[in-house]
Structure 1
């Protein structure tokens, strides 16, 4: 099961990175009508959510990322230095490598307490893969809409 989850992350990240490669950089910070955020925010959100769910809140990302990209955040409220899209892309690639290196037995371990109804790391990883695929669709739609 863990190999399937890891593979899902690989498919989704590749789709996200392909969309970014094919997008116009000038549109990364444009918030399309009917959307609550932009491509830049989406990339950071995917990164932060996966880090928090799969590696814990004290993962390998700077503390301010949670304020910039966490649940309920929005680009219109950004203050201070915001990591560039290029930085986020590199961090997404590095994070994918760390996800693929997680030991298979880790996915069978129980969480200290349920997270969004999930009781094992495998269940939480499956939810995280679903969450990421949802945001991949948002990124794809924004890139197509903005040209």
Structure 2
């Protein structure tokens, strides 16, 4: 399973570099033809990982319900995000990854509530959730890479 966490670490490092190399205005800009922005996509990665890995395992999330609801599937930015929230997301990219890895290695994930994603893929256990999460974060990283060329 270490490769799963290595892949997620690489994805998160790419997202951190994008955060570091774009202004608050650029992170918040929604280009024509898009319904969200760079920071929403990055927050969405954190929110979705918490839902797919922790919530569906019956465990408490590391982020608030408010955070999850702001960035969950089907939402869009309701206004500009502050620098403080960007800083929080930057920290969460690292802390949620490390805690998940530690929790997995310690055997914390015992139960999993089966869930069929909007892609039609059914998650039946934590390993599948972690694999799918990397696929999902990879998709959103691709969107972020496209958005950064338009801001």
Q: Which residue of 1 aligns with 2:76?
A: 74
Shift of 1:38: 0.8
Gaps spanning 5+ residues in structure 1: where? none
Shift of 1:100: 2.3
Q: 2:24 touches 2:83 (CA, 8 Å); kept in 1?
A: no
Q: 1:16 touches 1:140 (CA, 8 Å); kept in 2?
A: no
Q: Which residue of 2 aligns with 1:61?
A: 63
Structure 1's 75 and 112: CA in aligned 2 closer, same or farther, altered over 3 A? closer
Q: Which residue of 1 aligns with 2:3?
A: 4
User: Counterpart of 2:112 in 1: which secondary structure?
Assistant: strand
Shift of 1:83: 6.2
Cα deviation, 1:20-63, whole Å, max 9, x if unaligned, reads: 11112221111011211011211211110011111216302111
User: Counterpart of 1:139 in 2: which secondary structure?
Assistant: helix
Match of 2:140 among 135, 142, 145: 135
Number of corresponding residues: 143
C-alpha RMSD over aligned residues: 2.6
Q: What is the TM-score normalised by the length of structure 1?
A: 0.84
For residues 98 and 87 of structure 1, the distance between their equivalents in structure 2, rounded to whole angstroms, comes to 16
Q: 1:111 touches 1:121 (CA, 8 Å); kept in 2?
A: yes
Gaps spanning 5+ residues in structure 2: where? none
Q: Which residue of 1 aligns with 2:14?
A: 15
Q: 1:109 touches 1:122 (CA, 8 Å); kept in 2?
A: no
Q: What is the TM-score normalised by the length of structure 2?
A: 0.82
Write the mapping of 1:29-40 to structure 2, written as runs, cut at 5 A.
29-40=28-39
Shift of 1:99: 2.3
For residues 144 and 108 of structure 2, the distance between their equivalents in structure 1, rounded to whole angstroms, comes to 28
Q: Which residue of 1 aligns with 2:98?
A: 97
Structure 1's 31 and 119: CA in aligned 2 closer, same or farther, altered over 3 A? same
